[in-house]
Structure 1
């Protein structure tokens, strides 16, 4: 497992995500697959989520057993289960809607692999993780206060997290040369931003989400 490459990819997913997807072409030429064949980045993400779970557990005074349960929830539900669902939907949508007409003649080489769709989820999840699992924890004393400016900070954090994820999905699929109209994947940004604007009228997203998530 190449942890050095995985760390490089995680860093550039935040700094310059397009550079990560430039390696997709090289990987396809050398390994004949668009998807990663190295689980190092998954192991690093599992570790990141475990650390985040411990941090949230300290803040909310969880017992050790509750902290471990929270770690499993973050890894198994938030990342893996959601990732499996999103990867499946992305693959179906991309191969049905975004596939270039000329690509149908060679479906093996010119179709979105499920593993690649999961890679796209993985890549998109890391900036999302930094925003809503790490930054939100750091800003917790601010975003949970009953003040409008605190509501603004918290809701903007959620806007940024989900916008980063959506943009990451777009970058991942638009990197494939046989897909067209990938801009459609940016469409969820419109209702996301509209919901954000409405929420500024007095709905503190962070308070409601955290109440349901960690009690």
Structure 2
């Protein structure tokens, strides 16, 4: 992480070309991107990126989207600033921190083939917090997978959210806001596809790790989304219309 932030401050060291290549392939053949990360593990002995270029470009895309949404549906500069704050800081970064932490906990404690914390006994028993099994479960002292990789997986998956819910929805919103069943069907399907593909890319990210098992459980939210999609669509509840009202009142 220190090297990650050090490169963040050194613009000349950023590899934007590789980041753009990864973004393109995540849309067409995501497994190829994770194969590259696997080879990186062999050369750099780490799973996570040490270059923040991907996160920077994605944040820039979200910022541009927020400005376009604001200029189109609101002329208030404060509203545009709030959109940038919500879309970049809250929706992408803060939610990403939570999702990455949950993925890190699951990977090191549940999905790992062997729970190193319970088997190695390599922690200092003189410290009160390591004797608490719940604290050791949440914060493993000798985790197999670094947290930064889990955040990388979130960034990779969130690119799909940007394409579906920030880009495509922007152009389709006049249609999606119409009060008819077709608009409801298209809007809800767009959200279903975007959220489902988010978890598919997330599954690819964890499934390629050789020390994890049962990673198919990461796909469990998809049938849950499908059930909600069916219920909401049949009841005429348009998710796209509801979200636009939430952002623009």
TM tier, smaller? over 0.9
Partner of 2:74: 61
User: RMSD in angstroms over aligned alpha carbons?
Assistant: 1.9
Distance 1:61 1:48 in 2: 19
Partners of 1:110 and 1:178 within 8 A in 2 = no
Q: Which runs of 5+ in 2 are unaligned?
A: 1-13, 123-139
How many residue pairs are counted as aligned between the two chains? Answer: 215
* SS of aligned partner of 1:98: coil
* SS of aligned partner of 1:38: coil
Distance 2:210 2:142 in 1: 11
User: Please, what TM-score do these two structures have when normalized by structure 2?
Assistant: 0.82
* Residue correspondence of structure 1 range 151-166 to structure 2 within 5 A: 151-166=184-199
Could you list the structure 1 runs, at least 4 aligned residues long, displaced by more than 6 angstroms after superposition. 102-110
User: Please, what TM-score do these two structures have when normalized by structure 1?
Assistant: 0.94
Tell me whether 1:128 sits opposite 2:164 in the alignment. Answer: no
Tell me whether 1:140 sits opposite 2:173 in the alignment. Answer: yes
Alpha carbons of 1:20 and 1:109: their partners in 2 closer, same or farther (altered >3 Å)? Answer: farther
Partner of 1:185: 218
Residue from 34, 55, 58 that aligns with 1:42? 55
Tell me whether 1:213 sits opposite 2:247 in the alignment. Answer: yes
Q: Which runs of 5+ in 1 are unaligned?
A: none
Partner of 1:92: 105
Return the offset for 1:108: 9.2
Alpha carbons of 1:108 and 1:16: their partners in 2 closer, same or farther (altered >3 Å)? Answer: farther
Partners of 2:74 and 2:80 within 8 A in 1 = no
Partners of 1:173 and 1:182 within 8 A in 2 = yes
Partner of 2:94: 81
Partners of 2:66 and 2:84 within 8 A in 1 = yes
